[in-house]
A and B are shown apart, each in its own frame.
Chain A
Amino acid sequence: MRALGALLVRDVRLAARAGGSAVLALAFFAAVVTLVPFGIGSDAKLLARVAGGVLWVAAVLANLLALDRLFQADYEDGSLDLLALSPLSFEGITVAKMTAHWLTTGLPLTILSPVLALLLNLPATAYTALIVSLLIGTPAVSAIGSVAAALTLSIRRGGLLFPLLVLPLLTPVVIFGAGAVLARLDGVENGAIWLLAAFSVAAVLLAPFVGAAALRLNLSE
C-alpha cells in the first residue's frame, strides 16, 4: 500500500506542477465548451438542450489529452523498469496511475463543469444530474484510458492511434452520461445514471488486470 501511495502521490504531483497535464486538461475543457455557442449561435433554448452532451463530449476529449502519455513518459525515461522491479505489482501500478489521472483530471473537470454549464444556459434542475453523472462516469474514462495507454506505450506517435482505440470504448459513457442530464431536463426517469454506474464499476474493476496484462506484454518485447 505504501508503494502504491508513493506512486499515486508522485503522479499527482507531476500532473499538478508547472507544465503538468492537470491545468492543460482543464483549460482545454473550458476552451471547447466556450467555443460551442460561437459555433451554434446564441439560441438559449438550443444551448440548454445540448449542454449536457457538449459538456460530456468535451470532458471525454479533455481526459484524453493527459491519458496517452500516462505510461509512455515512464516507459521512455526508464521509470517503468524501476516500477516493474519494485515491490508494486503491475496491477498496483495501473491502479495508482488511473487513480492519479482521475484525481488530476476527472475530478477537477467535474468541479469546473457547473461554471461552464452556466455558459450553456443549462437549467438549474439539471445541475445535480450533470455533476453526479460526471462524478460517476469520469472514473470509467480514466480506467479505460489507462488500459489503452498501457497497450500503446511502446508505439511512437501512439498519440494518434490512442483516440481511435479509446473513443469507441467510451461511447457508452457519453450516451449514458448525457442521457442522464437530458432525462432530468425532460423530467423523465430513463435509468441512464444506473447504467452509467454499472459500466463505470465494471470498467474500474477490470482495468487493473487488463492494464497489467498490457504492461507485461509491452515490457517483454
Chain B
Amino acid sequence: MGARLRTVHYLEVADLACVRGGRAVFRDLSFRLARGDALIVGGPNGSGKTSLLRLLAGLLPPAAGTISISAEGTQIADREERAKFIGWLGHYDGAKPQLTPREALRFFARLYGTASDPSLLEVVGLSRSADLPCQYLSAGQKRRLALARLKLCGRPLWLLDEPLASLDASGKALLLNLLRDHLAGGGIAVIATHDPLDLDAARLPLT
C-alpha cells in the first residue's frame, strides 16, 4: 500500500523555543526520535501541542533552537527541505466539499507523486461513500479520508494533531493499525492528543 517510505534515520530537536503572538509558549525543548519511535505529546489547551507540530513540519519558524532530520545519510536542517518528508494530519482535513473522496485521493497522489491506490478507500471504510461529494461526509468520514491520504502520501515522518478526534471505535482501531504499521516499517510519528492511545511510545507533557 502506498509508496515505499523514504528513510528518515532520526529526528533531533534541540533547545527548541516557540513564541506565538509575543508570548513564549514553550522553550528548551529537546528530544530525539529514531526509526520506529513514536512520541505522544500531551498537555492542556494552549500548551503548544499544535505549535510544536507546525514547527516540526517546518510550517512555523522556531524562535530559538534547531530541528534536524537525518535522511538517506545526510543531515537536513532547512525547513522547506524537511517538509518533503512530512506526513501531516491537522485539525482540518482539506476535504473540498465539491470533490468526492476518490477524486481527492487521486489529486493527492498526483500532487505528492505517489501511485494512486483506490483500495485505500476500502481500507479506511469509505468504499460506500467513495463517489459522494465530501460535503455529504460526516466529520469522522472526512477524518478517515485524511487517514487514507496520510497513508497514500508515503512520508516517513508522521505528525498527527488530535488524530482521534471525531473517529468512532473502529476508526480509532484503524488509526492504531496504520500507526503500528508505519512504525514497524521504520517510520517515525509525533502525535499530539488528549485521549489515551494504546501505543508503545515516549511521552512528552507540555505545560
Name A residues whose Cβ lies closer than 8 Å to a Cβ of B. 2-3, 5-7, 9-10, 13-14, 17-20, 74, 76-79, 81-89, 219-220
Contact partner of B90 among A19, A78, A87, CB < 8 A? A78
Q: Contact at B88–A17, with CB atoms within 8 Å?
A: no
Per-position binary interface string of chain B over residues 132-157, scored 1 when its CB falls under 8 Å from any chain A CB and 0 otherwise: 00000000000000000100000100
Shortest CB–CB separation between residue A86 and chain B, in angstroms? Answer: 5
Alpha-carbon distance A6/B83, docked complex (angstroms):
19
Report the bound CA distance from A161 to B118 in whole Å: 42
At the interface with chain A, which of B28-36, B53-61, B119-127? Answer: B53-61
| Those 8 A-B pairs whose CB atoms lie nearest each other, nearest first | A78-B92, A6-B110, A79-B94, A78-B94, A17-B98, A6-B111, A85-B83, A86-B111
B84 at the interface (CB under 8 A from A): yes
Pair A7/B94 contact, Cβ less than 8 Å: no
| B-side interface residues, number (CB < 8 Å) | 28
Q: Do A82 and B61 touch across chains, with their CB atoms under 8 A apart?
A: no
Would you call B4 an interface residue if the criterion is a C-beta within 8 Å of the partner chain's C-beta atoms?
no
B108 contact set on A, CB distance < 8 A: 82
Q: Is B165 an interface residue (CB 8 A)?
A: no
Give how many A-B residue pairs fall within 8 Å (CB-CB).
Answer: 73
Which A residues are CB-close (under 8 A) to B57? Answer: 81, 85
Is the pair B83, A84 in contact by a Cβ cutoff of 8 Å?
yes
How far does the Cβ of A220 sit from chain B's closest Cβ, in whole Å? Answer: 5
Mask, B41-76, CB within 8 Å of A = 1, is 000000000000000011111000000000000000
Q: Is the interface of A mostly helix, strand, loop or mixed?
A: helix
| Set of chain B residues within 8 Å of A3, measured between Cβ atoms | 110-113
Among B88, B91, B93, B96: residue with most chain A CB under 10 A: B96
Known A-B contacts A10-B99, A13-B99; A77 and B110 likewise in contact (beta carbons under 8 Å): no
Do A7 and B98 touch (CB < 8 A)? no
In the complex the two chains form, is B111's CB within 8 Å of A81's CB? Answer: no
Known: A3-B111, A3-B113, A87-B112. Contact between A14 and B88, CB under 8 A?
no
Does B84 lie within 8 Å of A82, measured CB to CB?
A: no
Do residues A81 and B88 form an inter-chain contact, with CB atoms below 8 A? yes
Known contacts A3-B111, A78-B94, A81-B88; 14 additional CB pairs below 8 A are: A2-B113, A14-B98, A19-B98, A74-B94, A76-B92, A77-B92, A78-B90, A79-B96, A81-B59, A82-B108, A82-B111, A82-B149, A85-B83, A85-B155
